[in-house]
Chain A
Amino acid sequence: MGSLGLKNIHMSFGTNEVLKDINLEVEDGEFVIFVGPSGCGKSTLLRIIAGLEDPVRGDVEISGQLVNAMPASKRKIAMVFQTYALYPHLTVEKNMSLGLRQAGAASSYIERQISLAVEMLELEPYLKRKPAELSGGQRQRVAIGRAIVRNPDLFLFDEPLSNLDAALRVNMRIEIARLHRELKSTVIYVTHDQIEAMTLAQKIVVLRDGRIEQVGSPMKLYKDPDNMFVAGFLGSPAMNFIEAGHLGVGGKAATVGVRPEQLTPSRRGRVSGTVSHLEHLGAETNIFVNTDGGLITVRQFGEASLDIGARIGLDFRDEDMLFFDSNGQRLR
Chain B
Amino acid sequence: MRRVRHTVPNVLLAHVALAAYTVIALFPIFIIIINSFKTRKAIFRDPLALPGPENFSLVGFETVFRQGDFFLYMQNSLIVTVASLFFILLFGAMAGFALAEYRFKGNTLMALYLAIGIMIPIRLGTISILEIMVATNLVNTLTALVLVYIAQGLPLAIFILSEFMRQVSDDLKNAGRIDGLSEYRIFFVLVLPLVRPALATVAVFNMIPIWNDLWFPLILAPGEATKTLTLGSQVFIGQFVTDWNAVLSALSMAMFPVLVLYLIFSKQLIRGITSGAVK
Residues of A within 8 A of B (CB): 13, 47, 50, 52, 71-74, 77-79, 81-89, 98-99, 102-103, 158
- When distances are taken between beta carbons in the complex, the residues of chain B under 8 Å from A79 are 174-175, 178
A to B CB contacts below 8 Å, 13 in the list: A47-B174, A50-B178, A72-B174, A72-B178, A73-B178, A77-B178, A83-B171, A85-B172, A86-B175, A87-B176, A87-B189, A87-B190, A89-B193
In the assembled complex, the CB of A150 is this many whole angstroms from the nearest CB of chain B, namely 8
- When distances are taken between beta carbons in the complex, the residues of chain A under 8 Å from B171 are 81-85, 158
Name the contact of B179 in the complex, choosing from A47, A81, A83, A99 (C-beta under 8 A): A99
Q: A79-B174, A87-B176 are in contact. List 16 more A-B contacts (CB 8 A).
A: A71-B177, A73-B180, A77-B178, A81-B171, A83-B172, A85-B169, A85-B171, A85-B174, A85-B175, A87-B172, A87-B175, A87-B189, A89-B189, A102-B180, A102-B181, A103-B180
Confirm or deny: B194 has a beta carbon within 8 angstroms of a beta carbon on chain A.
yes
Report yes or no: B190 in contact with A72, Cβ–Cβ below 8 A.
no
Known: A85-B169, A87-B190, A89-B193. A50 touches B180 (CB 8 A): no
Known: A87-B190, A88-B193, A89-B189. A73 touches B169 (CB 8 A): no
Closest to B194 in A: A88
- Which 5 pairs between the two chains have the least Cβ-Cβ distance? A73-B180, A85-B171, A99-B179, A102-B180, A81-B171
How far, in whole Å, are A78 and B179 apart by their CA atoms in the complex?
Answer: 8
In the assembled complex, the CB of B249 is this many whole angstroms from the nearest CB of chain A, namely 45
- When distances are taken between beta carbons in the complex, the residues of chain A under 8 Å from B189 are 87, 89
In the assembled complex, the CB of A131 is this many whole angstroms from the nearest CB of chain B, namely 11
- When distances are taken between beta carbons in the complex, the residues of chain A under 8 Å from B180 are 73-74, 99, 102-103
In the assembled complex, the CB of B39 is this many whole angstroms from the nearest CB of chain A, namely 56
Report yes or no: A78 in contact with B178, Cβ–Cβ below 8 A.
yes
Closest to A102 in B: B180
Residues of B within 8 A of A (CB): 103, 169, 171-172, 174-181, 189-190, 193-194
- When distances are taken between beta carbons in the complex, the residues of chain B under 8 Å from A99 are 178-180
Residue of A73, A74, A85 contacting most chain B CB atoms (<10 Å): A85
Report yes or no: B177 in contact with A52, Cβ–Cβ below 8 A.
yes
How far, in whole Å, are A44 and B103 apart by their CA atoms in the complex?
Answer: 15
- When distances are taken between beta carbons in the complex, the residues of chain A under 8 Å from B177 are 52, 71-73
Report yes or no: A50 in contact with B193, Cβ–Cβ below 8 A.
no
- When distances are taken between beta carbons in the complex, the residues of chain B under 8 Å from A158 are 171
How far, in whole Å, are A88 and B171 apart by their CA atoms in the complex?
Answer: 13
- When distances are taken between beta carbons in the complex, the residues of chain A under 8 Å from B176 are 87
- When distances are taken between beta carbons in the complex, the residues of chain A under 8 Å from B103 are 13
- When distances are taken between beta carbons in the complex, the residues of chain A under 8 Å from B175 are 79, 81, 85-87
Closest to B173 in A: A85
- When distances are taken between beta carbons in the complex, the residues of chain A under 8 Å from B190 are 87
Report yes or no: B174 in contact with A81, Cβ–Cβ below 8 A.
yes
- When distances are taken between beta carbons in the complex, the residues of chain B under 8 Å from A71 are 177
In the assembled complex, the CB of A43 is this many whole angstroms from the nearest CB of chain B, namely 10
- When distances are taken between beta carbons in the complex, the residues of chain B under 8 Å from A72 are 174, 177-178
Closest to B193 in A: A89
How far, in whole Å, are A86 and B240 apart by their CA atoms in the complex?
Answer: 66
How far, in whole Å, are A52 and B180 apart by their CA atoms in the complex?
Answer: 12
In the assembled complex, the CB of A5 is this many whole angstroms from the nearest CB of chain B, namely 20
In the assembled complex, the CB of B172 is this many whole angstroms from the nearest CB of chain A, namely 5
Report yes or no: A83 in contact with B169, Cβ–Cβ below 8 A.
yes
How far, in whole Å, are A74 and B178 apart by their CA atoms in the complex?
Answer: 8
In the assembled complex, the CB of B240 is this many whole angstroms from the nearest CB of chain A, namely 60
- When distances are taken between beta carbons in the complex, the residues of chain B under 8 Å from A81 are 171, 174-175
In the assembled complex, the CB of B173 is this many whole angstroms from the nearest CB of chain A, namely 8
How far, in whole Å, are A50 and B193 apart by their CA atoms in the complex?
Answer: 26
In the assembled complex, the CB of B180 is this many whole angstroms from the nearest CB of chain A, namely 3
How far, in whole Å, are A246 and B105 apart by their CA atoms in the complex?
Answer: 55
Report yes or no: A73 in contact with B174, Cβ–Cβ below 8 A.
no
Closest to B190 in A: A87
